[in-house]
Chains A and B, each alone.
Chain A
């Protein structure tokens, strides 16, 4: 079974701008896929749809074999919470929460107990090499460390799919290498990873590259 299957996916914004013009592909479980293309080609739109943040105007999106088009907002939210981990270019950590609390937040929304959450968040932070900085707030962390927290948060609810939008876009080259290594490790452990990038080095590291141009596969 494929992790992702999209067929004839279109997305038209209000005002008639067509960001996606019929995109079809599949991502198998355990694959490490990079989506590449020039700015404004529609790759972020595609990632938002894959991450269930946005809905396609037309076409099919099957997540782990299940059709997503007819789901209600509550069902979509539940699926996003349970099956998808998001990593952002700008990290998007909540500034008033500690690293530990940031990582624990998705589990809170999933309704887990406090002790359970804290234990797992600590474990995840250790996993990404930040076990000692669990109580720091994002402002007390470097860019690379913030992105590690972001990745740990994405893993909190044991998702099937890790989506990343330019995860190294705001990082220096040394941190970028480390973050990429982390993604590869996770992939080696069986995690399906789809990331959007400009960076040819990351594209080269990924097992597979999907190129997009003007809203269609190139």
Chain B
């Protein structure tokens, strides 16, 4: 028997028992889909991680206020002055950006919006994670010195390819719908109680192509940190307070030593109080990735279990098929089929069934990956190669053949005389 004939014979048998076949390969499909999805995620995560790290810079640290810290009253907390001191004492730092963020009211003409995300920063903002196109100008050091009430607005993210859920549910918040219909450059608008002039507009990359791992963290407007302190940070105990200071040492090799120096300087300035935390951004990203890896492992386990369950299903179907075809086995043996021929026939049919399940699984998996690709910002998590699809189908076929071995072997050992008597 050649492969083409065996293929046709197998297809005929599967088609003749459509219901049984469909049932048996359903589980295989789920297994393959799950594995494929998982493989795609693993691949995508690796690439996403590499891209993120490249974009965020080699020596990134974030200084934050320590959570749940109760001050002894000696420290003034994290301040703009701290950032200036770090700049002064460690002049080789590539980036030192004090930052504060608030969710404020924006009034423009007759429009009034709540919960607009405004970040106070410095020109150093441009040094890392810069993915924007700029019209007008950015905040400069003069603005920071003069506490100028100038704002750079961030346009809402568009889509390169809009995911289906965005079409159904809509993906715009209030600010997005407001900003996308207007050119704000040069206009004046009110943030809380202060009037700001829009001097620049930033266009982020399409959401589904944004390479930043924290692209969801993009503010709606950027203002000088000093203007933010003076006009927008109501309720702060210390008028010079900032939320965080973002640092890039510029070189991964100096990260550890600079970190120690930064900690020493801040501790001195905070009069011994350790009311701040220095976080390594890479560790943060990698911790996040590690967490995702756990999910991936769970997906992998799920896929394997589904595949095993599918294999057992195939085993059952093979058993049923053989019971229904004992006489056929007798006839084949009588006209010259060897035991090996019978074994090969049923293994091949099981492999075909599993392969069909694999194909359905690949289709399902690709659907899943498309869906994954549709979620904003996670495009990179959805990489899939043709090789993986082929591997998925082969794996399903192989598992099915392996599980069909015992029934098929038993079929091959049937006594031809007894088999011919079967009804």
A interface residues (Cβ-Cβ under 8 A, vs B): 48, 51, 53-54, 73-74, 77-78, 80-82, 86, 88, 92-94, 96, 105-106, 108-110, 114, 153-154, 156-157
Q: List 11 A-B contacts (CB under 8 A).
A: A51-B334, A53-B417, A77-B333, A77-B336, A106-B335, A108-B1, A109-B1, A109-B335, A109-B336, A114-B5, A153-B335
A51 contacts across to B, CB distance below 8 A: 334
Is the C-beta of B2 less than 8 angstroms from some C-beta in chain A? yes
| Selected contact of A74 from candidates B2, B12, B327, B338, CB within 8 Å | B338
A81 to B332, CA, bound (A): 10
Do residues A114 and B331 form an inter-chain contact, with CB atoms below 8 A? no
Do residues A105 and B334 form an inter-chain contact, with CB atoms below 8 A? no
Do residues B338 and A77 form an inter-chain contact, with CB atoms below 8 A? yes
B4 contacts across to A, CB distance below 8 A: 114
A73 to B415, CA, bound (A): 11
Could you tell me the distance in whole angstroms from the C-beta of B416 to the nearest C-beta in chain A?
Answer: 5
A53 contacts across to B, CB distance below 8 A: 333-334, 416-417, 420
Do residues A96 and B13 form an inter-chain contact, with CB atoms below 8 A? yes
Do residues B13 and A81 form an inter-chain contact, with CB atoms below 8 A? no
Do residues A81 and B16 form an inter-chain contact, with CB atoms below 8 A? no
A118 to B404, CA, bound (A): 31
A50 to B76, CA, bound (A): 106
Identify the closest chain A residue to B16 (Cβ): A96
| Selected contact of B341 from candidates A109, A154, A156, A157, CB within 8 Å | A109
A153 to B339, CA, bound (A): 20
Do residues B12 and A81 form an inter-chain contact, with CB atoms below 8 A? no
Give 9 nearest A-B pairs by CB, closest first.
Answer: A81-B336, A109-B336, A92-B331, A77-B338, A106-B335, A53-B416, A106-B336, A108-B1, A54-B417
Identify the closest chain B residue to A86 (Cβ): B334
| Selected contact of B420 from candidates A80, A82, A92, CB within 8 Å | A92
Do residues A48 and B337 form an inter-chain contact, with CB atoms below 8 A? no
B192 contacts across to A, CB distance below 8 A: none
Identify the closest chain A residue to B416 (Cβ): A53
Find residues 1-36 in chain B having any chain A CB closer than 8 Å to their own CB.
1-2, 4-5, 12-13, 16
Could you tell me the distance in whole angstroms from the C-beta of A113 to the nearest C-beta in chain B?
Answer: 8
| Selected contact of B5 from candidates A82, A88, A108, A110, CB within 8 Å | A108
Do residues A80 and B12 form an inter-chain contact, with CB atoms below 8 A? no
Is the C-beta of B243 less than 8 angstroms from some C-beta in chain A? no
Q: Interface size bucket, B side? A: 20 to 34
A81 to B13, CA, bound (A): 24
A51 to B420, CA, bound (A): 13
B328 contacts across to A, CB distance below 8 A: 94
B1 contacts across to A, CB distance below 8 A: 108-109
B2 contacts across to A, CB distance below 8 A: 114
Find residues 323-352 in chain B having any chain A CB closer than 8 Å to their own CB.
327-328, 330-341
Do residues A77 and B420 form an inter-chain contact, with CB atoms below 8 A? no
Do residues A157 and B336 form an inter-chain contact, with CB atoms below 8 A? yes
A156 to B333, CA, bound (A): 15
Do residues A80 and B336 form an inter-chain contact, with CB atoms below 8 A? yes
Identify the closest chain B residue to A105 (Cβ): B335
Could you tell me the distance in whole angstroms from the C-beta of B422 to the nearest C-beta in chain A?
Answer: 11
Could you tell me the distance in whole angstroms from the C-beta of A147 to the nearest C-beta in chain B?
Answer: 14
| Selected contact of A92 from candidates B5, B327, B336, B340, CB within 8 Å | B327
Do residues A77 and B334 form an inter-chain contact, with CB atoms below 8 A? no
Do residues A94 and B331 form an inter-chain contact, with CB atoms below 8 A? yes
B333 contacts across to A, CB distance below 8 A: 53, 77
A154 contacts across to B, CB distance below 8 A: 335
Identify the closest chain B residue to A44 (Cβ): B417
B339 contacts across to A, CB distance below 8 A: 73-74, 77
Known: A77-B337, A92-B331, A93-B331. 10 other contacts (CB 8 A): A51-B334, A73-B338, A74-B338, A74-B339, A74-B340, A86-B334, A92-B330, A92-B334, A96-B12, A109-B341
A108 contacts across to B, CB distance below 8 A: 1, 5
Could you tell me the distance in whole angstroms from the C-beta of A170 to the nearest C-beta in chain B?
Answer: 15
Interface string of B190-218 (1 = CB under 8 A from A): 00000000000000000000000000000
A66 to B40, CA, bound (A): 63
Find residues 295-322 in chain B having any chain A CB closer than 8 Å to their own CB.
none
Do residues B338 and A109 form an inter-chain contact, with CB atoms below 8 A? yes
Find residues 36-76 in chain B having any chain A CB closer than 8 Å to their own CB.
none
Could you tell me the distance in whole angstroms from the C-beta of A172 to the nearest C-beta in chain B?
Answer: 23
Identify the closest chain B residue to A110 (Cβ): B336
